[in-house]
Structures are given as structure tokens and as C-alpha cells.
Amino acid sequence: MSTDSLSGAARGLQRDDTPTLDDVRDAAARIAGIAHITPVLRSRSLDELAGCQLFFKAENLQRAGAFKFRGAANAVFSLTPEQAARGVVTQSSGNHGAAVALACRLRGIVCTVVVPGAAPRIKREAIARNGARIVDCEVAQSARNEATDRVLAETGGELVHPYNDARVIAGQGTATLELLHQACRRGKSREATPALDIVMAPLSGGGLMSGTAIAAKGIDARVLAIAAEPEGARDGHDSLKSGSRITGRTANTISDGLRAELGPLTFSILREHCDDVLLVDDAETVAAMRLVWERLKIVIEPSCAVPLAAVLKHRERFAGLRIGIILSGGNVDLDALPALLALAPPTA
């Protein structure tokens, strides 16, 4: 029986649905024992530097090295046996591809990943290491889409889009569910209440930020959901400010994980649930990345540092508040590190 013949309740969440908090909770139950529960890290010195209290959700310690495994696992493990038998197809500059490849390997199904030629070596190797077939394409989003459509036509596989997929968005929202639980405080009644004023995540295609906002607002509508984006890939910022989805731009940023453009579904969700998008330049991003390496003693990639860079850039806006930050990933191309760090040398 095809999934199209099933009722909505039986089919569960579909690719083009708008996820709800219940969908995020369902995703948390589905991936329990598959995805890691990652820690929340604190740093007194970073709090002092930022002028606020920072709670870092360490998704760089997630399986496959990034939050992407949450959405990938939710999507792959929600497939019907008929869908799984046809295999999975996705497109990715690295982290999502590695995450989908790992989820497919764990479930024992075939995976094909369309990868742009400029993807970092470490991310490409992670995709291959998890047994996926790699199909190369050009960097432009239109080229990725064309190659993906071609592979789908050839294989008949199930598309698991990196961000414009409700199953993926719901999975990404589980990081914020955990964060709000881990950062909650208990009063005399011993009832837990969310302790964060703001939850932040980097913005690219919008899957993480959509899931973050849905979870945060669903738990407590007073929590602000603020995205951070590179100046050189500001299509999300400009789309949400203008009210029209901007496509076709060429991104120019070292944050290779943040070069995608918003999809129709993520654009719709963020128009409703995202409170603001803040912009930072690449030097500010690298400086924030260096601080996390130095103060938290963990490895993060440039894309991951963009929210902290935004907080440091706008200290007066965040003064005295409690800020949750999703540290999105830690897959750094070590060969490129000397040139990367040169963009923001240590201050005297």
C-alpha cells in the first residue's frame, strides 16, 4: 500500500507539512537512543565578555559532528518500508549528507548524496565513509537542484531535503527541546520553567532555525527566536525583511554550511516564528570561533560561531539576558585552518 492511500494520521508528518511542537516531540521519541543527548556548556569568561549568560548546546558533539543528524534520523526512520526500499536521495555541502548517510547505514538502506565540488574534504570523506554514493555538481543552488532531480528520476528514491522538509525540521527542533529542559530552573513548587530569554541558531536554508523557533515558541511564546547569518550570505535576512523569498544569489562567506537559500516551507515558518536575523562578517565569525576553541575547549566550525559573533557584536541588545545558542557543528577542514584563523588574528 502506498503512503498516499493512507490517512493523514496514519501517514504521519509529510515533507511539505508545517511541523508543530507535537511533531518535534514525536521526533524526539523516534530518535531517542539513536541521536545523542548533547551537553549544555557554560563559560564564565564568555559570559563576562558578552555581558549576558550564555548556554551553549553542543551539537558539535552530535553523531556525524553536527545537529543535522537529528533531522536526518527523524526523516530516515520515519520512512515506510516501501519508501526505504527505494533508497534515499539528498543534496548537501557536507554535514547533512554525512548525517543522512549515517542514518541510512543504521537503517540498512541505500543513500545517494549530491555534493557541490567546493564542499570541504572532511565533509565529503564523512559522506563516503558512511557508505553513500556521491554525485558531484556545481556550487549554485540551481545546479544542486538539477542534479538532485536527475538522481531522483534515475533511482526513484525518497528525497530527504536538507532543510525544506517537515520531517527534517521537526528533528532539528529536538535540540531546542533538550536545551530548554537542560537550562530550566525549578522554583519552590519544583515545577520546571524555561529559563532562557532568547534561543539563537545560525541561518542557512532555515531547517535548524525553523525547528528551533517552533520548539521555543511552542514551549513558551515569550522566548525570542533570533537567527544569525553571514553578511556574505544574507538572503535569509533580506527575504524576511522584504517579505519575499530571495533566490539565485551567489553566497560569499567562509561559513560553507550557511550558503543555502531559504526554501518555501522554511521561509513560511520563519516569517511567522523568527523574531529577527542578525548579520556578521567573516572576521567576526572567526574571532568568535577562536573564542569558543579557547574558552570552551571544543572544536567548532565557522558556521557554528555565527550566533556568538552576533551576540558579541550587539552586546547592548543582549545585556543581562539568558541566551541559548545552538552550536551547530564541529566539522572543520583542518587543512584550511591557517588561512581561516588569519582572518581574525588574536588581539593583544
Give per-residue pLDDT as tens, 96-123.
999 999 999 999 999 999 998 878 888 8
**Options 2.40.50.100, 3.40.50.1100, 3.30.300.180, 3.30.530.20; CATH of 68-166:** 3.40.50.1100
Give the pLDDT score at 11.
52
pTM for this entry: 0.91
AA identity, residue 150: R
The average pLDDT across 87-97 equals 91
Contacts of 222 (CB under 8 A, 6+ apart): none
Between residues 94 and 155, which one has the greater pLDDT?
A: 155
Distances, alpha carbon 335 to alpha carbons 9, 122, 213, 300, 305, in Å: 49, 9, 35, 15, 19
Domain boundaries in the chain?
A: 21-64+170-341, 68-166
Angle between helices 95-107 and 121-129 (to 10 degrees): 10
* pLDDT of 214 strictly over 80: yes
The average pLDDT across 33-51 equals 98
**Options 3.90.79.10, 2.60.120.330, 3.40.50.1100, 3.40.50.300; CATH of 21-64+170-341:** 3.40.50.1100
* pLDDT of 190 strictly over 80: no
End-to-end CA distance of the chain: 67
Contacts of 81 (CB under 8 A, 6+ apart): none
* pLDDT of 186 strictly over 60: no
Give the number of other CB atoms < 10 A from CB of residue 269. 23
Residues paired with residue 135 on neighbouring β-strands, in sequence order? 114
